Amino acid sequence: MHRLRLYCLMLALLAASVAKADQAVLIGGGYNINGSQGQIELNVRWVQDVLKRSGLPVVTFFTDGNDPAPDVHFQQIETSSDTDNPIEELSQKLEPVARLFDNHQSNLTRYRDHAVPDVKGSTQSDKLKPALLELLDSAPEDPTLIVYNGHGKQSESTPDKVTMELWNDTQMTASELHSILDNSKAPTRFVFTQCYSGGFHRLAYENPESGLELSSSQRCGFTAESAYRLAEGCSASIDSDDYRDYTTYFFAALSGYDRHGEILPVDTDNNRDGKISLREAHLYTLENAHSTDLSRSTSEDYLNTWQPWYLKWAAGKSGLPNNEYARLFRNLADRHDIVLNENPAKNIRAKIQTYQSTMYDLYEKMHRLDESLKSIKHELMEKATTKWPALVSPYTANFQTMIASGEMLAVAQWLKEEPMYKNLVELQMEEQNSINAMLNAERDITQMQKLLEFRKLAKLKKQLYEYGTSQHIKDYERLVSCEDQPLALTK
Amino acid sequence: MRKNLLISLLLGVLIALAAWPVYVFVNVAINYFSGEASVIDLWVQEPKRNLIQSFVEGYKASAIIAVCLGVVAAADYLIFASNRLLGYIAGITVPAFCIGLAFIYHVNPIQVMLGFALTGVLLWVLYKLVDIGFRLRRTA
């Protein structure tokens, strides 16, 4: 009899543990082929791998699902030695024509079907919404981790109207996802890396539009940006050395390895408990990502939303309390040679001004380059169209005949031998270098803005404990504890 | 006496209306010069409507305190301004009240004292301008 009871108890325990299994929902891809960059696809594949390795069952939705039509574009690496491929050979031969009449980058763009394994379906909103509802309905007690890698649009009104830009130019707002999540009582965590993703922190609140009351079921997450800024990433380049987006740092911190499989130089398990929590990964990303992202977690969003009117405008002292944000500030300031004297904020702002003037100089330089490029292109085009008049009107019979006869290759060869073509290439390369330098200056500015944000968060956290009600403090701690958990909750 | 009552009423309303904008102006200025201007960062990083909304929210929420400050200014005028000798220190209760607010509303009043004190001083200047204006009109 006792033995029977013991078996019953064990069965009940087993059933409970089976009922509360984790699941990860991975949503990715662009809104159409031109907005579906190779970087997103590579990110989704890598994230899927990290999630699977952590023991989470992953349900993946990507662009058009399993439709074999092309849904990803990527940039062929210039030094590609794939000369066996006729398109690569032709592309190299036609490079001068592309540089003059179109765009060198478009000449390197390729289209194909995605290579993401185990895709359950399309992200098109009328297909994704019911699929998500079905997933949550089938396991309403299961904790869910939602990861989105794609594009987003800003809201003209409240932050909950920011969108995920889904396949076939469809959308899902934060508010719509909020109502879908209302079907689940289990904890939901999310990682959103798109532009304006900060609006999705409203998922954690009872009323998505406004207010400070948290939703009854536990929800928290991490976003690459606020609801008002563009995120880094979305490059068509397949050279992952270029990637500095939130996903790259966040999931590397979680797995302990970067996307090339190299071990990270630092231990991201800050509290040495043997588990890397999402919050630890976020703090690592904040400190280490040299990108244009000013990332945030829901608890940080909560601090900003909570700050009462009489504290928001009050001028305080410049000293910092002792908390994790102050430590992040000190580490990053050290890395960027910010003098930590009596007034470090002033030094930070002085640096921002230096970077801004660098950006202004680069902008002026690009303007001058653009003028020179226009003039060279104009001269070369005139010469070319005098020799080959059909070049003036693409999409015509003359033009088609010219292409069919292989004469376009002759145009390319002639251009290559023109002395002005060398100038054109040099100017275009210089322009590209200036764009890269501008992006770097923007990244440097963001590091300074991050420092100011850390100072603000350090003070806000202290203020919450000084001025907040016990409910506010409880809510904040609930969010932090939700964030401070590893990828797999039930393992 | 009736005229004094009218002026004090006008002064009270003026101080009450100016209290929040002056407080915001002073604090933003201090923040700007100390480099800790998180509000200015918000002006750049977020839509302007957010900060304007926050300003309006502060205006509404501080209304009751502003009205109290207006009453203090009006009473101060009635007590001090009519007396030639006391007239020199008329309005002193306005910055004193502002400093007192820092002690009532803040856990660390010393940290926010400068903002409250300067707000009080600026409102005192406003008070004095009205006071002197009416005195000059009276003597003219």
Show the CA angle centred on residue A207, arms to residues A202 and A212, nearest 5°: 75
More confident residue, A235 or A365: A365
Residue-level pLDDT at A80: 55
What percentage of chain A has pLDDT greater than the value 90? 78
A366 contact partners, CB below 8 Å, separation of at least 6: A431, A434, A435, A438
Residue-level pLDDT at A103: 84
pLDDT tier at B34 (50, 70, 90 boundaries)? confident
CB contact under 8 A, B108 and A452: no
In chain B, which residue's Cα lies nearest the Cα of A230?
B45
Q: Domain for residue A473, yes or no?
A: yes
Name which of A36, A90, A92 is nearest A65 in CA terms. A36
CA distance B132 to chain A (A): 31
CB contact under 8 A, B36 and A228: no
Q: Give the Cα separation of B7 and B9 in Å (integer).
A: 5
In chain A the first and final C-alpha atoms are separated, in Å, by: 32
Same domain, A275 and A323: no
Q: Give A381-438 pLDDT, tens digit per residue.
A: 999 999 999 999 989 999 999 989 999 999 999 999 999 999 999 999 999 999 999 9
* A-proximal residues of B, 97-126, CB under 8 Å: 105-108, 111-112, 114-115
Cβ distance A451 to A287 under 8 Å? Answer: no
ipTM of the complex: 0.88
pLDDT tier at A19 (50, 70, 90 boundaries)? very low
The answer on pLDDT for A487 being more than 60 is yes
User: What integer is the mean pLDDT of A11-21?
Assistant: 49
The answer on pLDDT for A259 being more than 50 is yes
DSSP 8-state code for residue A65? T
CA distance B140 to chain A (A): 42
Q: Domain for residue A1, yes or no?
A: no
Q: Give the Cα separation of A324 and A304 in Å (integer).
A: 16
Cβ-Cβ contacts under 8 Å, B38 against chain A: 452, 455-456
pLDDT tier at B44 (50, 70, 90 boundaries)? confident
Across A28-32, B41-45, B102-106, least confident range: B41-45
Q: What is the mean pLDDT of chain A?
A: 91
Residue-level pLDDT at A1: 47
- Where is A192: in which H helix or E strand? strand A188-192
In chain A, which residue's Cα lies nearest the Cα of B34?
A346
Q: Domain for residue A6, yes or no?
A: no
Chain A residues whose C-beta is within 8 A of a chain B C-beta are 226, 228-229, 294, 309-310, 312-318, 343-349, 449, 452, 455-456, 466-467
Q: Domain for residue A289, yes or no?
A: yes
Q: Give A376-392 pLDDT, tens digit per residue.
A: 999 999 999 999 999 99
Cβ distance A488 to A57 under 8 Å? Answer: no
Same domain, A398 and A426: yes
Same domain, A266 and A393: no
B77 contact partners, CB below 8 Å, separation of at least 6: B4, B7, B8, B11, B12, B90, B91, B127, B131
Cβ distance A279 to A459 under 8 Å? Answer: no
Q: What is the CA radius of gyration of chain B?
A: 17
Q: How many domains does chain A have?
A: 2
Q: Give the Cα separation of A268 and A256 in Å (integer).
A: 7
Mutate to test the interface with B, among A309, A325, A339, A465 (most CBs of B within 10 A): A309
Neighbours of A283 (CB within 10 A): 20
Q: Domain for residue A216, yes or no?
A: yes
Cβ-Cβ contacts under 8 Å, A309 against chain B: 54, 57-58, 61-62
Q: Domain for residue A272, yes or no?
A: yes
DSSP 8-state code for residue A90? H
Tokens linked to A214:
């948290």
Question: Structural domain of residue A179, as residue ranges?
Answer: 21-71+113-304+469-483
Same domain, A284 and A171: yes
Cβ-Cβ contacts under 8 Å, B51 against chain A: none
Same domain, A281 and A331: no
Same domain, A204 and A351: no
- Per-residue CA distances from A161 to A175, A177, A344, A349, A356 (Å): 6, 10, 37, 32, 31
Same domain, A253 and A361: no
The three-class DSSP label of residue A75 is strand
Same domain, A262 and A341: no
CA distance A209 to chain B (A): 14
Same domain, A195 and A55: yes
pLDDT tier at A6 (50, 70, 90 boundaries)? low
Cβ-Cβ contacts under 8 Å, A294 against chain B: 45
Same domain, A321 and A449: yes
Interior/surface letters A60-79, b for 16+ CB within 10 angstroms, e for the rest: bbbbbbeeeeebbbbbbeee
Residue-level pLDDT at A324: 95
Tokens linked to B89:
């220190």
Q: Domain for residue A288, yes or no?
A: yes
Cβ-Cβ contacts under 8 Å, B57 against chain A: 309
CA distance A439 to chain B (A): 18
A217 contact partners, CB below 8 Å, separation of at least 6: A181, A184, A185, A186, A187, A188
- Where is A276: in which H helix or E strand? none
Cβ-Cβ contacts under 8 Å, B43 against chain A: none
CB contact under 8 A, B46 and A226: yes
Same domain, A208 and A267: yes
Q: Which of A226, A318, A467 is opposite residue B36, by nearest beta carbon?
A: A318
Q: Domain for residue A123, yes or no?
A: yes
User: What integer is the mean pLDDT of A438-449?
Assistant: 94
Cβ-Cβ contacts under 8 Å, B27 against chain A: 313-315
The answer on pLDDT for A336 being more than 60 is yes
Same domain, A264 and A412: no
Q: Give the Cα separation of A276 and B77 in Å (integer).
A: 65
Cβ-Cβ contacts under 8 Å, B45 against chain A: 226, 228-229, 294, 449
CB contact under 8 A, A314 and B27: yes
A396 contact partners, CB below 8 Å, separation of at least 6: A390
Report the CATH number at residue A50: 3.40.50.1460
Q: Which of A347, A452, A467 is opposite residue B38, by nearest beta carbon?
A: A452
Q: Give A62-116 pLDDT, tens digit per residue.
A: 999 999 999 999 988 765 555 677 888 888 899 999 999 988 888 999 999 999 9
CB contact under 8 A, A349 and B35: yes
The three-class DSSP label of residue A451 is helix
pLDDT tier at A15 (50, 70, 90 boundaries)? very low
CB contact under 8 A, B46 and A346: no
Residue-level pLDDT at A241: 58
CA distance B52 to chain A (A): 12
- Where is A120: in which H helix or E strand? strand A119-121
